[in-house]
Structure 1
Amino acid sequence: MSEYNNNKKSPVTAEDWKRMFDTVIDRSGSGDLKHGALLPRWGRDDLLPLWVADMDFATPQFITDALRKRLDHSLFGYTVMPDEFWTTIINWIRTHHQWEVKRQWMSFVPGIVKGIGLAVNIFTRPDEKVIIQPPVYHPFRLVPLGNGREVVFNPLKEDNGTYEMDFDNLQRVADDKCKLLILCNPHNPAGVCWSRETLVRLADFCRERNIIVISDEIHCDMAIFGHKHIPFASVSEAARENSITFQAPTKTFNIAGLISSYAIVPNNQIRAKFYRWLQANEMDEATLFAPIATIAAFENGEEWRRHMLEYVEDNVRFVEDYCRENIKGIRPWRPQASFLVWLDCRELNLSHDELLDLFIDKAHLALNDGEMFGKKEGHGFMRLNVATPRVILKRGLDQLAAAVRANVR
């Protein structure tokens, strides 16, 4: 038995779980972005894709079963959002993050990046500014810029294989035109679970200056190696009353294509302004399958999630050991959350173009280029997705090791 069956029975041994995540799935013909974007983005389609942040693991069977059950009722007209969608989310957040969220604080949003774009347009004018903290998920920069807003950079500081916030710099760059700060919590690409002390300090800073914090918490259910995610809005009154939180089950349960995201806004005035706009434009209405998948994930998914994260942890360790033994010039930074590993390649002493040539044309790998997360801050880094069967991960590292050896001769 290699996966959940219709009676919700789980694999009985650790080996059964490992076999499940070790299974290589042929994604050809599914229209997946990971493979379909290779030729337009990299100019070649013979690359091993270890880039976009979804997983190569099968979506859990209990989610597929729930969707299939609805498909058997072959009429897909307009539907209402079931109350169970909200109670299931509230219970999950209470259980996993010890945060008591009220139903009236919540709304469906059609994707977290879209939610950020909506917030940028609703809470800033064209002459106002948005603060981001690079190296960081690139839509944080592209979305405000694409909507005609100026982006202010508050770069993170390196701290022995991780990052910390630079509050001295934040004090210098935050002027009266700064109206939003987009927080990545947990952080992408480095996987930092921000401490309570850091979040409280950030909340106090932003509340004093009337800068609303947009907290992207899509990786919140993927803390690993004993770390814990802390929801930004839960740390203090200043955080609660001056923030918009975005969460989703989509990364954790590999259902990104279903689009099931939600906003949490405790402050009455911020919530009224944001949700009024969502409602007027029908942006708060979920697609048919989003609530079905979310309810199935949060009601039945804890055991699957736990074993998936254990497999991811082992993959991170595998990358660390492999690089230490076979690729001396590359140092993986251990993430505290998610399945993304920030590869520090600076000891290879390559220019940006030379690093891309090494990974793409010599190693035949498609990873996210570090500079997309911050031209200066991400220089010399590459982002590796390790949510893939071990055999695929080893193949990629073998190709990279061979390319590095050939490059230094």
Structure 2
Amino acid sequence: HGIYGYVQVPEAYYGALIGWFARRHGWSIRRDSILYTSGVVPAISATIKAIAAPGDRILILTPVYNCFFSSIRNNGCAAEECALARGEDGRYRIDFERLERAAARPGVRALLLCNPHNPGGNVWSGEELARIGEICARHGLTVISDEIHGEFVFGGARYTPFARVNELTRRISVTLTSTSKSFNTAGLQMAAIITEDAGLRARIDRAININEVCDVNPFGYAAAIAAYSEEGEAWLEALLAYISENDRVVREFFAQRLPQFPVMPLAGTYLEWVDVSALELPSEEIEESLIRTEKVRIAAGTHYGKDGEGFIRINIACPRSRLLEGLSRIERGLKRLAGEGGR
């Protein structure tokens, strides 16, 4: 229509979102439980503001998405870190005894959950999510579940919305979601905040306005409506097949040419988590070296907390030709560092 000023988000957006999650994930969402804002990170910040006061603590499972730390800090809160454990299969797992102890500490108000988990690519099962819910309910914590990577699951894994698990998880949770990862629309700035707790929803709505992230642009909702369609779903399935093949290429490459650097099994997201601890170098030094000498950008594990030391993160959501070029550069850089003797 040629008018790109302030917008009123139409009912078609809510209908498209509700239909998508019902059809694809078996989650029935009430229309009045949905708020919108300009992105999932602004949604995290507004939700923390609605739940916690400065000086409170927010529980996180580490290593975890770097913006969790900044959103917590920017609200005057502190991160209560609960380190993930490594299972025999190389994947992360939740140490539930450790989680129980952390949830019980004074001042902890909420668990900020990444479902699926970034980094590491875990797709938490319904049973794991139910146990998280039980622990958080026992200690009076709200679960803020960032589910932006929910569509990226592979190898038979199944994404389960936290709020869909059971009545308890529905009651104590706030879910944050967007098309920004699954349909590469981050620049269009549109995200949904979903909670059935009317009082909490009103406080979040107030926090959205205090933070001045209450307006979205007219392309954001239009793109979301298009994405949450049958045509969008067909496009997404093709994308998932392509990224799954990229994952296979990465694993084969490392197994054949860089076997000393294990790649964690990827069930979800498009972010490979590579163990480079054999170099005995700080991960930020490895990142800086690869950028400076090979002109390839990866992310140091410590961007995701101290428990990410010894890892680098590689984004594989790109054309295969670029992926192969990037892997060649990473190979040169890591072999050069290994030849220099690491530490």
TM-score, scaled relative to structure 2: 0.93
Say which of 138, 155, 166 aligns to 2:95.
166
Cα distance, 1:357 vs. partner? Answer: 4.7
Assess, with a 3 A threshold, how the Cα gap between structure 1 residues 76 and 354 changes in structure 2: closer, same or farther.
closer
- Counterpart residue type for residue 305 of structure 1: L
Q: CA offsets per residue over residues 115-167 of structure 1, 9 Å max, x none?
A: 11112222111121111111000111121112211211111111222111122
Paired with 1:236 and 1:405, the residues of 2 have a C-alpha distance of 49
SS in 2 for 1:154: strand
SS in 1 for 2:202: helix
Assess, with a 3 A threshold, how the Cα gap between structure 1 residues 303 and 208 changes in structure 2: closer, same or farther.
same
Give the corresponding residue for 1:326.
257
Give the corresponding residue for 2:23.
95
Cα distance, 1:396 vs. partner? Answer: 1.2
Cα distance, 1:279 vs. partner? Answer: 5.9
Cα distance, 1:81 vs. partner? Answer: 1.4
Give the corresponding residue for 1:220.
150
In terms of mean alpha carbon deviation, does 328-337 or 250-259 score higher?
A: 328-337
Paired with 2:308 and 2:212, the residues of 1 have a C-alpha distance of 38
Assess, with a 3 A threshold, how the Cα gap between structure 1 residues 137 and 204 changes in structure 2: closer, same or farther.
same
Is the Cα contact below 8 Å between 2:47 and 2:207 reproduced in 1?
Answer: no
Cα distance, 1:273 vs. partner? Answer: 2.6
Unaligned 5+ runs, structure 1: 1-72
Q: CA offsets per residue over residues 255-295 of structure 1, 9 Å max, x none?
A: 11001100110123322332344467774443211111101
Assess, with a 3 A threshold, how the Cα gap between structure 1 residues 180 and 322 changes in structure 2: closer, same or farther.
same
Give the corresponding residue for 1:151.
79
SS in 1 for 2:65: coil
Give the corresponding residue for 1:136.
64
Assess, with a 3 A threshold, how the Cα gap between structure 1 residues 120 and 135 changes in structure 2: closer, same or farther.
same
Q: Say what the alpha-carbon RMSD is for the aligned residues.
A: 1.7
Say which of 234, 243, 253 aligns to 1:312.
243
Paired with 1:126 and 1:188, the residues of 2 have a C-alpha distance of 26
Give the corresponding residue for 2:267.
336
Is the Cα contact below 8 Å between 1:260 and 1:286 reproduced in 2?
Answer: yes
Give the corresponding residue for 1:114.
42
1:349 matched to 2:280? The reply is yes
Paired with 1:359 and 1:138, the residues of 2 have a C-alpha distance of 20
Alignment of 1:276-295 (within 5 A): 276-278=206-208, 283-295=213-225
Give the corresponding residue for 1:298.
228
Is the Cα contact below 8 Å between 2:125 and 2:160 reproduced in 1?
Answer: yes
Q: CA offsets per residue over residues 5-56 of structure 1, 9 Å max, x none?
A: xxxxxxxxxxxxxxxxxxxxxxxxxxxxxxxxxxxxxxxxxxxxxxxxxxxx
Cα distance, 1:353 vs. partner? Answer: 5.3
SS in 2 for 1:320: helix
SS in 1 for 2:62: coil
Q: CA offsets per residue over residues 180-207 of structure 1, 9 Å max, x none?
A: 1100001011111101111001111111
SS in 2 for 1:365: coil
TM-score, scaled relative to structure 1: 0.78
Give the corresponding residue for 1:84.
12
Assess, with a 3 A threshold, how the Cα gap between structure 1 residues 314 and 210 changes in structure 2: closer, same or farther.
same
Is the Cα contact below 8 Å between 2:284 and 2:300 reproduced in 1?
Answer: no
SS in 1 for 2:59: strand
Paired with 2:69 and 2:291, the residues of 1 have a C-alpha distance of 25
Alignment of 1:167-182 (within 5 A): 167-174=96-103, 175-182=105-112
Paired with 1:368 and 1:353, the residues of 2 have a C-alpha distance of 8
Q: CA offsets per residue over residues 326-385 of structure 1, 9 Å max, x none?
A: 11222111321121111111223334455235423333321111111012x111111100
In terms of mean alpha carbon deviation, does 138-147 or 344-353 score higher?
A: 344-353
Alignment of 1:12-91 (within 5 A): 73-91=1-19
- Counterpart residue type for residue 96 of structure 2: F
Assess, with a 3 A threshold, how the Cα gap between structure 1 residues 383 and 110 changes in structure 2: closer, same or farther.
same
Q: Name the larger-Rg structure.
A: 1
Give the corresponding residue for 1:379.
309
Say which of 128, 135, 140 aligns to 1:205.
135
Alignment of 1:226-305 (within 5 A): 226-278=156-208, 283-299=213-229, 300-305=231-236
Percent of aligned pairs sharing the same letter:
31
Assess, with a 3 A threshold, how the Cα gap between structure 1 residues 94 and 397 changes in structure 2: closer, same or farther.
same
Paired with 2:334 and 2:145, the residues of 1 have a C-alpha distance of 38
SS in 2 for 1:193: coil
Cα distance, 1:254 vs. partner? Answer: 0.8
Paired with 1:335 and 1:92, the residues of 2 have a C-alpha distance of 24
Cα distance, 1:173 vs. partner? Answer: 2.4
- Counterpart residue type for residue 140 of structure 1: F
In terms of mean alpha carbon deviation, does 89-98 or 266-275 score higher?
A: 266-275
Paired with 2:202 and 2:176, the residues of 1 have a C-alpha distance of 16
- Counterpart residue type for residue 38 of structure 2: P
SS in 2 for 1:176: coil
